[in-house]
Amino acid sequence: MTIKRMLLFASVAFAALPAAAQAEWTHEGELLKGAAEVQLSGTVMFTLPAGLGGNICLVKANLVMLPGKQGAITKPELQTATCEGWGVLEGCEVEKDSTTAPWAVAINEATKHLDMQESTISYVFKAGCPVPMAHLVFPATTIEPDNPEALDFLVATGMTALGVVGKLTFKVIEGKAKTYGII
């Protein structure tokens, strides 16, 4: 076989390979054409190392999706009156939410999960609590959707450098559950 034929054969064989799947945001099964935003409602929970205690609060946020695979979790807001502690944090009331956002996310093409960049959850307890504040910095974290093709529930678990385990659980609200997805 001549070199020209080998090159032709190689180029035809390469062209016949399927293109790599590129995961992207969708709305009702179609690729997202413009920015979209859905409201999320759920819980944020953290557990201190060595079983010392923890805290759980209701939280609201938004998921912003951009055409392609980029997005962000924006406007996280702890519902401070709903927070409950256990262990050393039992009876501690949250005075102020100081959480910073946005938290950048990108679709992981291999898993159809969301890779979330570093995120910070921070709030101050009222006087009398043995812990004055919770300032939790989570390194890059994976957000796992219950069903990538029809987003309804999203869950992320991470650990801070100090060994505090945090878990975010979100549900898509506003009648938009299962209308957005990843394909």
pLDDT for 161 equals 84
3-state SS string for 53-80:
EEEEEEEEEEEEECCCCEEEEEEEEEEE
Q: Give domain status of residue 12, yes or no.
A: no
The CATH number assigned to the domain holding 69 equals 2.40.160
pLDDT, average across residues 157-181: 89
Q: How far apart are CA 31 and CA 107, in angstroms?
A: 14
165-172/153-159 β-pairing: antiparallel
The identity of residue 152, as a single letter, is D
Distance CA 26, CA 53 (A): 40
Residue 5 is assigned to a structural domain of this protein: no
**Residue pLDDT, tens place only, 33-56:** 999 999 999 999 999 999 999 999
Q: Is residue 1 part of a domain?
A: no
Tally of structural domains, the chain: 1
pLDDT digits (tens, 9 = 90+) for 95-133: 999 888 899 999 999 999 999 999 988 989 999 999 899
Let me know if residue 40 belongs to a domain.
yes
Which ranges of the chain would DSSP assign to H, the alpha helix?
3-16
User: Is residue 17 in some structural domain?
Assistant: no
- Closest residue by Cα to residue 79 from 94, 62, 90, 91: 94
Residue 129 belongs to a domain: yes
Distance between CA atoms of residues 31 and 52, nearest Å? 46
Does residue 9 sit within a domain? Answer: no
Domain carrying residue 107? 26-182
Specify the pLDDT at position 9: 36
Q: pTM of this prediction?
A: 0.83
Determine, yes or no, domain membership for 8: no
